[in-house]
């Protein structure tokens, strides 16, 4: 789905795009494929920006993704949910940060550290 067409996407389409891109980003990161990870990051960011514009329904879609079976999806969703439901997001990031060694664990640790230091901005 192209960037300019996201405004016409449904919440479910945006949620699916975010979930798929987050999962693919996790796989690419774990295998060291930075080009693929960067491409998926752009898709995650685009879906997040559009979900964010959708208010409560968009926030609800992101919150739902914290319950994904995929740790990479949960980590991305939790990082974006910090903006409006920090207690819920921090709890999930703490669970991920205490999990087995992985890229997702490191991402959760760094996200929590930067959030608590006041360095994360949601612009």
Residues 29-39 have pLDDT tens digits of 999 999 999 99
Q: What is the pLDDT of residue 123?
A: 77
Predicted TM-score of the model (pTM): 0.93
Tokens of 58: 């968009």
Q: Which homologous superfamily is 11-116 in?
A: Phosphatidylinositol 3-kinase, accessory domain (PIK) (1.25.40.70)
3-state secondary structure of 2: coil
Among 63, 10, 19, 9, CA closest to 44: 19
Return the number of other C-beta atoms located less than 10 Å from residue 115's C-beta: 18
Mean pLDDT over 17-26 rounds to 98
């Amino acid at each position: 789905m192209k960037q300019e067409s996201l405004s016409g996407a449904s919440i479910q389409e945006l949620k699916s795009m975010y979930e798929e891109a987050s999962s693919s980003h996790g796989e690419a990161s774990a295998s060291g494929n930075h080009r693929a990870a960067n491409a998926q990051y752009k898709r995650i960011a685009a879906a997040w920006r559009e979900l964010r514009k959708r208010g409560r329904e968009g926030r609800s879609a992101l919150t739902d993704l914290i319950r994904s079976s995929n740790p990479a999806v949960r980590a991305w969703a939790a990082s974006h949910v910090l903006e409006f439901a920090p207690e819920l997001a921090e709890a999930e990031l703490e669970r991920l940060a205490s999990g087995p060694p992985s890229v997702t664990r490191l991402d959760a640790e760094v996200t929590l550290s930067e959030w608590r230091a006041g360095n994360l901005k949601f612009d």
